[in-house]
Amino acid sequence: MDQNAPVPNHSEVQVETYDRPTLPKTPPTLTPSPSGRRRQRARRRGPRWFVWLIGCVLAVVLLALLACALVGGLVVGIVFKLANEVTASATSTQSFVVGAIPSLDIHNAAGRVQVQPGATGVVTAQITKNTRDTSQSAAQASLNTIVVTVTQTGDQITITTDFQGESFFAGSSTVNLLITVPPTANITADVTAGNMEVDGVSGLLEITGDAGTATLQDVATADGSRIHLTTGSVIMRGAIPTNATVDIAVSTGNVTLQLPADTQTRLDARTNLGAIQIDGWPLEPTRMNSVGAVANGALGAQPAGTLHIQVDTGDITVSQL
């Protein structure tokens, strides 16, 4: 190295400086990611669904309370009405001269109909009108609105009841008929609501009804007889003459028959939902679809005629007297 070379002066060396950027005083705004925005929206919706849920529950509870109040009020009203009702009734009797085998045609909307044997050549009708209402005057007024029409055309007697202006809350009315006919008579009866009873009469029986029981005791049903009920039961103790075809049908209810051991007819029985029981004859019912049953076969060694029994829901029982 050259000893005469000048010595550098470090104090004169210029230092290069850099300006530091100034940071903004306002903090930066961070933009959430799309997934973050969805989470924020989900968090905002949460309480809204909860409010809807609570509102629906409260609405259901309110409707249930309203329904209970309505039903409770209806029940209280019915109980109060029945507890404060009074009754009124009126009975009348009419008699008619007829031939040996008269015909009886009955149309009764509500009440019991009873037919029993009497003297030959005479038909007697005892008519009892009944009503209930909140006062004696109202019950009597309702009684006067019940019209029972009895007419005779030759050997046919027709009895028709008419409940004019009847309503559930205004009153409750029935007509009971006790009719005496010769031992042999043809009977047609249509009873909307009520029981039908025939005792000790032979002939053509045509009985229909919506709600009630048909009870036939010691009868002999002629060819073409039929008993059809919507809701109710048929109870019969009697005979089916040889060569007679009888039709019994019930929508909801039971059919119970007691027939003589020497009955000569063919049985055609069917229930869609129920069971069939036959006692006294070697005829075995067959189950149908595990819920119903059928029974077809002869009752007697020389069957002539057919006994048809059709039940939608209910049991069938056929036994010997």
pLDDT digits (tens, 9 = 90+) for 210-232: 999 999 999 999 999 999 999 99
- Domain end position, chosen among 185, 219, 251: 185
- Residue 53 falls inside a structural domain: no
Q: Both 240 and 155 in a single domain?
A: no
Within a domain: residue 303? yes
Distances (CA, A) of 39 to 28, 32, 46, 51, 191: 22, 10, 11, 19, 72
Domain finish residue from 185, 220, 253: 185
Q: For residue 245, which of 222, 218, 214 has the smallest C-alpha distance?
A: 222
Last residue of a domain, one of 155, 185, 215: 185
Considering the domain boundaries, does residue 36 fall inside one? Answer: no
Give residue 246's pLDDT.
97
Percent of the chain residues past pLDDT 90, beyond the cut:
63
Which helix (H) or strand (E) covers residue 83, if one does? helix 34-83
94 and 151 in a single domain? The answer is yes
Which residue range forms the structural domain that includes residue 218? 204-321
Q: Are residues 181 and 239 in the same domain?
A: no
- pLDDT band of 18, cuts 50, 70, 90: very low
Q: Cα Rg for the chain, rounded, in angstroms?
A: 44
Q: Which of 10-14, 35-39, 93-97, 281-285 has the lowest mean pLDDT?
A: 10-14
pLDDT digits (tens, 9 = 90+) for 132-179: 888 888 888 888 899 999 999 999 999 999 988 654 444 478 999 999
Kindly state whether residue 108 falls inside one of the protein's structural domains: yes
> pLDDT value at position 2?
47
Do 218 and 309 fall within a single domain?
Answer: yes
C-alpha distance from residue 285 to each of 291, 292, 298, 314 (Å): 13, 10, 12, 15
Is residue 29 in some structural domain? no
Residues 98 and 176 grouped into a single domain: yes
Q: Are residues 119 and 91 in the same domain?
A: yes
pLDDT in the model for residue 76: 54
Q: Mark whether 244 and 214 lie in a shared domain.
A: yes
State the pLDDT at residue 42: 47
Shared domain check, 174 and 127: yes
Give me 123's structure tokens.
Answer: 């038909």
Same domain, 216 and 321: yes
Residues 175, 208 within the same domain: no
Q: What is the dihedral of CA 80, 82, 85, 87, to 10 degrees?
A: 180
The H-assigned helical ranges of 84-214 are 136-144
Where residue 27 falls among pLDDT bands split at 50, 70, 90? low
Output DSSP code: residue 24.
P
298, 304 Cβ separation under 8 angstroms = no
pLDDT in tens, 255-295: 999 999 999 999 999 999 999 999 999 999 999 988 999 99
Task: Tell me how far apart the alpha carbons of residues 269 and 319 are, in angstroms, rounded to a whole number.
Answer: 13
pLDDT at 14 over 80: no
Q: Decide the pairing of beta strands 86-97 and 122-133.
A: antiparallel
Task: Please check whether residues 181 and 208 belong to one and the same domain.
Answer: no
pLDDT at residue 142 in the model = 86
Pair 212, 316 in one domain: yes
The number of folded domains in the chain is 2
Query: What distance lies between CA 256 and its chain's CA centroid?
Result: 21
pLDDT in tens, 195-206: 999 999 999 999
Give residue-wise pLDDT tens across range 94-123: 999 999 999 999 999 999 999 999 999 999
